[in-house]
Amino acid sequence: MCYAIPGQVVALDGRVATIEYFGERKKAYNEIPSLRVGDFVYAQGGFVIKVLPPQEAQDILAVWKETFFELQEMDLRLSRLAVKSEGVAKKVLRILDKALEERPLTKEELLELLRLETPQEREYLYKVANFLRWKNLGNGACVHGILEISSFCHRNCAYCGLSSHNRDLSRYRMTEEEILAAVHEAVEVYGFQSLVLQSGEDPKRPLDDLVRIIRTIQKHYAVLIFVSFGEVGLEALEKLYEAGARGLLLRFETSNPALYAKLHLGYTLGTRLAHLEKAQEIGYLIATGGLIGLPGQTLEDILNDVLLAKSLSAEMYSFGPFIPHPATPLSHCFPPSPSLVLNTLAIARLVDPKNAKILVTTAFETLDPQAARLGLLAGANSLMLNVTPLSFRSRYTLYPERAHEGETIEEQIAATLSLLRSLGRAPTDLGASTPQG
Ligand code: 5AD
């Protein structure tokens, strides 16, 4: 995340620190033994990651103070529920009223919402989702960086441009030095505090190398690391956690076991879920989700995907559209409509109003250039910027013509900050799920 706001530790209770940000209190796990009450810190994803010199923190806070309240005011204005109910069916209004009261919706009710098509009804749904985001999580937006360290992959996922189906791809594997240089740039130059390291399932990158890389990053940089290397095995999850990784990004792709088996020949949903369950048990923050609009997928499947993410206690919901890649067996298929993607993000907010970080994915931005703005106004509160060096980025072709493929990190940060500012959002982790005291 870029340009986070420091907070001050006001209480310490065992592993749990209470941190105050302009009068708001949040809790975070602490793993820094020397931490004291009164210290200024950066926290990410519910973890304290860095102590700052008091003067530096106070200087940053002085700059932020006014802006922070201005942004909150703007968000408040945009989140007001002044929507017209004309053109919205009574039944839909009733369900959305129930959602506003934060009473759990039934599957039938959620399906009814997921199915909405008219602009008036969709607008109402998005307003409700945005209102719940504002009410429960305030105006914090979480901005992670993603570094794609290798495009080699031995799997055969029917939709993926990195899969073994794509024989023409000129693949790359960043060296350890290249990875560390990219991390250095992201953390020290651009201020990211949370990075996802991602790759295909690359058989030529041994676990020991990944462990060493993560350990080195942890030793030198105050940054929260998410790993996203596919199904590495349950023991590997433990080793990566021991090395310092604290988050796992692993989509289950679809919660429908038959559809999963069809799209991933020779693999099962069960193995994937075993990874997610193990990661949860170890203590990883879980980022997961699925593809929207896969051929053969029903609306009920998509709803089940959202409910599965919730039952896995996902701290981040990563749902994006399927975009056909020409070198895969699904090249002839079509992507979903942007409305279905927005409906899914809004439903995710209704299902998990209080905690979820809901991501607007790059795939959605590829499908619709307005995706980030629309998604952030429909319940989402999270973005991911690509910090992979430009020389490699265009070769990580999950799907064609990825948004931001040719943009420098500076350009992405500038565009993101200006978008967040226009929406009254602060690039902070204030909306993080927080541990129970
Ligand atoms: N369209 C959209 N997303 C894709 N991914 C892979 N291929 C595609 C595609 N064609 C996503 C998968 C995977 C993530 C790294 O990229 O969901 O988990």
Ligand 1: centre distance to CA 145 (Å) = 17
Decide: 160 in ligand 1 pocket, CB within 6 A: yes
48 pLDDT more than 80: yes
pLDDT for 138-194, tens place per residue?
Answer: 888 989 999 999 999 999 999 999 999 999 999 999 999 999 999 999 998 888 889
Residue nearest to ligand 1 atom 13, measured at CA: 251
Angstrom distance (rounded) from CA 372 to CA 406: 18
Q: Which atom of ligand 1 is nearest to the CA of 198?
A: 15
pLDDT for 217-257, tens place per residue?
Answer: 999 998 999 999 999 999 999 999 999 999 999 999 999 99
Contact 350, 378 (CB under 8 A): no
Q: Which atom of ligand 1 is nearest to the CA of 253?
A: 17
Contact 28, 194 (CB under 8 A): no
Closest CA to 297 of 250, 251, 346, 263: 263
Range 136-427 classified under CATH 3.20.20.70: yes
Of the residues 156, 163, 359, 399, which should be mutated to test ligand 1's pocket, given the most ligand atoms within 8 Å of the CB?
A: 399
Contact 196, 384 (CB under 8 A): yes
Angstrom distance (rounded) from CA 373 to CA 360: 9
Three-point CA angle 253, 265, 302, nearest 5°: 25
431 pLDDT more than 60: no
The whole-number pLDDT of residue 26 equals 84
What CA–CA distances, in Å, run from 121 to 86, 91, 186? Answer: 9, 11, 41
Q: How many residues does the chain have?
A: 437
Ligand 1: centre distance to CA 93 (Å) = 34
The pTM score is 0.91
SS3 at position 351: helix
Q: Where are the domains of the chain?
A: 7-77, 136-427
Decide: 323 in ligand 1 pocket, CB within 6 A: yes
Decide: 399 in ligand 1 pocket, CB within 6 A: yes
Phi/psi region, residue 401 (left: phi>0; alpha: psi -120 to 50; beta: rest), is left
Question: What CATH number labels 7-77?
Answer: 2.30.30.140
Ligand 1: centre distance to CA 279 (Å) = 21
The whole-number pLDDT of residue 272 equals 98
Rounded to the nearest integer, the mean pLDDT of the chain is 92
Six-digit token pair at 47?
């973890």
Report H helices in 138-230: 176-184, 207-220
The whole-number pLDDT of residue 230 equals 98
Contact 156, 163 (CB under 8 A): yes
Contact 35, 385 (CB under 8 A): no
Task: Please name the residue that has the structure tokens 């209704």.
Answer: 350
